[in-house]
Amino acid sequence: MPYFISDSAEGCDGWATVKDDGEVMGCHATKQEAIDQAVAIALAEGSEYVGERQVDLTIPEYIRDAAAQGLAYHDEGLSGDGVTAQTVREATLMARGEISEDKVVRVSAWAARHRADLDADGARPDEDGYPTPGAVAHLLWGIPTGSRYDDAVAWFDRKSEQVKADRSAGMEITPVKPRTEGSGVEFRSLDGEIRAEGEGNTFVGYAAVFNSDSQPLPFTERILPGAFAKSLRNRRRDIRLYVNHNSDMVLASKRSGSLRLVEDDKGLRVEADLPNTTAGNDLRELLRTGVVDKMSFGFTVPRGGDRWSEDGQTRELREIALHEVSVVTGFPAYEATAAAVRSLSALSERTGMAVDDLSETLEALASGEQVDAEKVEALARIVESAKPEPEPDLLGLKAKQTELLAKKVF
């Protein structure tokens, strides 16, 4: 499980080393001491240090108590048929003080959808018939239905917004240090020679150059020979050539053979056959007139794929998961491609599979090939977790309450 540092962790006056589930591993007087502990623990466990994070997920005691009470009611059979095994597992973790960022976001959304459930008789602790299945569901989601209801909802809403803001900050298109400031897709552009060949139907250029110091990003970056080798050997991965990273303007693809990518002594060499499309014909003219002279590529870095200097000012890229290459005409449109790659990266984190393995698995499923059972199970768990909680049978519950009331009257 990843580790980060924070200067707003509950119980620490200064900096804290924090586990991804919110557990504070240690309080420190200086930021560097917190970093040193986080890095040491991550290395010892084979985990990851993800840098500074502002979101403190230390769970308030009343939310932990709510989850524990919900589990007790569930054991008594009072939760109804709609509660999933995942909700029970997550409530168990919450009662122990552990919660993930994903769960925080889901609780906030769930509470907004199910607020009306507490209008039913018996949903509040001071009402006859308490607890209803809807009340138990709230408790299992960490939301007390009594006087601390508003406090709990406010806490989840606030933390959800903080998590989303933190994730957005780590998904900037501008270059970031993915191992220290959040991970996400990165893009690099290279000014250099792009030339047309033959009758203008083929072009050759370089998307990256080896052993060449980048301009300040603000750190200096250097790509080592062999960094793209694994991606290029992957026969299932279909790398495409776009205009300005726009997936609506595809020019060629590795799978079709119209895009050929090789590592040579200079760097990542790109050769493509241009299609007879508007984008292809426009690029031919831009190449003919010499307007286009820049290429770019989108990538993520697998764990252990980069190495940083001690002062954090120099980064060596040793292994790169290549997602696409682009011809840049001066008007980049990163959003579509960036969103797709970020989604793949987020799914990779949730399944625990490397981006390359995940991409292969999805492509194999799409083509009807046999897929490793463990990977299928990981994807199935993610699909299951995305299902909305079933709505409580409020009409049936109301009918049962009416029947009981009638028996009392007569």
> Under DSSP, is residue 380 helix (H, G, I), strand (E, B) or coil?
helix
116 has pLDDT over 80: yes
Measured distance CA(297)–CA(109) in Å, rounded: 36
| Orientation of helix 373-385 relative to helix 355-366, angle to 10° | 90
Residue 5: strand pairing partners = 17, 52
Q: Which amino acid is at 35?
A: I
Share of the chain above pLDDT 70, in %: 72
Q: How many helices (H) and strands (E) does the chain have?
A: 12, 16
Ramachandran bin of 247, using left for φ above 0, alpha for ψ from -120 to 50, beta for the remaining angles: alpha
Question: Is the pTM value of this prediction over 0.75?
Answer: no
Phi, psi values for residue 106, rounded to 5°: -70, -35
Handedness of CA 205, 208, 213, 217 (dihedral sign): positive
Range from 10-19, 131-140, 298-307, 379-388 carrying the lowest mean pLDDT: 379-388
Q: Which two tokens stand for residue 125?
A: 């602790």
pLDDT in the model for residue 369: 65
The two most distant CA atoms of the chain are separated, in Å, by 96
344: pLDDT confidence band, cut at 50, 70 and 90? Answer: low
> Under DSSP, is residue 283 helix (H, G, I), strand (E, B) or coil?
helix
Measured distance CA(291)–CA(40) in Å, rounded: 50
Q: Which two tokens stand for residue 263?
A: 């590592």
Range from 40-54, 203-217, 327-341, 371-385 carrying the lowest mean pLDDT: 327-341
pLDDT in the model for residue 183: 36
| DSSP H or E segment with residue 313 | none
Q: Which residue has the higher pLDDT, 1 or 320?
A: 320
Measured distance CA(325)–CA(150) in Å, rounded: 49
Local structure of residue 181 (DSSP, 8 states)? B
115: pLDDT confidence band, cut at 50, 70 and 90? Answer: confident
Measured distance CA(196)–CA(205) in Å, rounded: 9
**273-305 b/e (C-beta count within 10 Å ≥ 16 → b):** bbbeeebbeebbebbeeeebbbbbbbbbbbeeb
User: CB within 8 A of 264, min separation 6: which ones?
Assistant: none
Q: Which amino acid is at 365?
A: L
Strongest mean pLDDT among 21-25, 266-270, 384-388:
266-270
397 has pLDDT over 90: no
pLDDT digits (tens, 9 = 90+) for 129-174: 999 999 999 999 999 999 999 999 999 998 888 777 665 544 333 3
109 has pLDDT over 80: yes
Return mean pLDDT, the chain: 77
304 has pLDDT over 50: yes
Residue 262: strand pairing partners = 269
User: CB within 8 A of 266, min separation 6: which ones?
Assistant: 206, 209, 210
pLDDT digits (tens, 9 = 90+) for 244-264: 877 778 899 998 899 999 999
User: CB within 8 A of 410, min separation 6: which ones?
Assistant: none
